[in-house]
Structure 1
Amino acid sequence: MDDITGPPRLTRLTFHGPLSEERAADMIGRLAATGPASVLDIGCGWGELMLRLLEAVPGAAGVGIDLNEEDLARGRANAEARGLADRVRFVQASAAEAAGEPSDIVLCLGASHALSDARPPEHTTNALRALRGLVRPGGRVLLGEGFWQRPPAAAELSAMWPDAGAAEMYDLAGLVDLAVDAGFRPGWIETASRDEWERFESAYQADVEEWLAANPDHPAAKETRDRVDRHRDMWLRGYRDIMGLAYLTLVPVER
């Protein structure tokens, strides 16, 4: 019998990005060692990395900002279940509206677009400048940002998102240069592995793929199937092994 509801959403994902448990633990260890009192998570989704950092630093407080209320509700429920509800707020707002005072740790993982209305790649420059103003002296910014692992060919770009262009991202060295120009020193440079990407892309689609297999005649099946097939094609025929994700732990230069 067809399910009368639509497919579940992202329940297989722990983090909303290509991030392994091992890498996340290393990141949290480095950030926690700075002794932060405040954490800001821009484009937080359900804020899993922020919650883990708060668990690692008793007494620290966090604010997560996102526009998706479903993700925010998941974050609030997770915080409540882990005894963190009194130390974290999940706010439905734009980053410009809710960023507030500078924080000791600023997380911006795949969300630089929330800090600038400029078109790529200018939005990355603008976002880095904004992040420099959001972190306190002695703090850290953890930036997750896309980059080209190699120049994409025309056929590869045509398989990606609409209007994808080779100029909209930098290579890794160029991205790090931008961070330095914005007033940071790169304390740690790392990139998502192929295994992390494959786990993320598979988990991103798994709920929907299994729902489609069980509900092929559901009224929403065709639209849903077309959407996930397009996304899978973008990945496998487009950006797989071409677009990378850099995780940069950035240290603000004293002014």
Structure 2
Amino acid sequence: MERYDRHLITHSEHPIAAPLSGDAFRAVLAVAMQRPSGGGRLFDLGCGQAQWLLTALTGWSRATGVGVDISEPCLDRAAAQARRLGVADRLELHEADAARFAAITPPGTFDVVLCVGSTHAFGGLLPALAAARRLLAPGGCVVVGEGFWEREPGPAALRALDARPDDHADLGGTVDRVVADGWLPVNGHTSTLDEWDEYEWCWTGSLSRWALDHPDHPDAAEARATADAHRTGWLHGYRGTLGFVTLVLRDAA
């Protein structure tokens, strides 16, 4: 019987695993790769299926990448894709907690450090940036993706996200925190409502289809219930309230 892994299913149509369109994703990556001129070493903290790394390695022939994630199925999928793309010799993948792995990685090693949608693994935005700063080589940059409040969250949004009002600032407050921490934004992308909608429809739709296509699977009912609950929380809770910004940062010190 087919293995059930929710993350692989929900991101099967959107492997970036964040609310960015393909064009926006590639534009942000291109800015991040400007300084290493295609020969840089990248580290993705919470890489999932390693879409950022795979795209960099296929687009810049001298780039190398390291990815760490706790999901073995995602890493297996990334490794298989790397072999298909012919970049497996330039990619290292590690199944580990991102924060713990980062702490034992030699400092000053990487030209680009990515942490998009994974700051929770470090306890929040600023702890994630502290880990990234330690890993950066001189002149390197960080690509970080973080949620923010588009508007004040109501009870429905907070319930759907299992969040508190102080879990995020607004966009201006989020950027202010980053700047106050000693970073200078050199590029960024604020996800649009259309990008959010595409991401959420892919997430819920892929899981719903899987449940319908595998009615005899022991996890089919759980998959459908998860898709239903997520769709309800999104459409009746946080749609238009939770935003997402992806920033390219350099150390201003």
State whether TM-score is above 0.5: yes
TM-score by length of 2: 0.89
Cross-structure match for 1:169: 168
CA contact (8 A) 2:204 2:228 kept: no
Amino acid aligned to 1:17 = A
Cross-structure match for 1:113: 120
CA RMSD of aligned residues (A): 1.8
> How big is each residue's C-alpha offset from its partner over 1:89-145, in whole Å with a ceiling of 9 and x where there is no partner?
1110112332213310011000011223xxxxxx22222222222222211101000
CA contact (8 A) 1:38 1:61 kept: yes
Structure 1 position 209, deviation (Å): 1.2
Amino acid aligned to 1:130 = A
Q: Secondary structure at the match of 2:17?
A: coil
Q: Secondary structure at the match of 1:97?
A: helix
> How big is each residue's C-alpha offset from its partner over 1:158-206, in whole Å with a ceiling of 9 and x where there is no partner?
3x133x2111111111111111122210111321111111111111122
The equivalences for 1:71-82 within 5 A come to 71-82=74-85
Structure 1 position 217, deviation (Å): 6.0
Does residue 179 of the first structure (1) align with residue 178 of the second (2)? yes
CA contact (8 A) 1:7 1:211 kept: no
CA contact (8 A) 2:28 2:187 kept: no
Structure 1 position 233, deviation (Å): 1.2
The equivalences for 1:23-172 within 5 A come to 23-35=24-36, 36-99=39-102, 100-101=105-106, 102=108, 103-116=110-123, 123-158=124-159, 160-162=160-162, 164-172=163-171
> How big is each residue's C-alpha offset from its partner over 1:30-59, in whole Å with a ceiling of 9 and x where there is no partner?
122212521000100011111111222222
Q: 1:61 to 1:215 in 2, by over 3 A?
A: closer
**Structure 1, unpaired ranges of 5+:** 117-122
CA contact (8 A) 2:139 2:250 kept: yes
Amino acid aligned to 1:172 = L
TM-score by length of 1: 0.88
Q: Distance in 1 between matches of 2:210 and 2:151?
A: 35
Identical amino acids, percent of aligned pairs: 35
**Structure 2, unpaired ranges of 5+:** none
Does residue 197 of the first structure (1) align with residue 204 of the second (2)? no
Structure 1 position 7, deviation (Å): 5.6
Q: 1:98 to 1:217 in 2, by over 3 A?
A: closer
CA contact (8 A) 1:7 1:208 kept: no
Does residue 244 of the first structure (1) align with residue 243 of the second (2)? yes
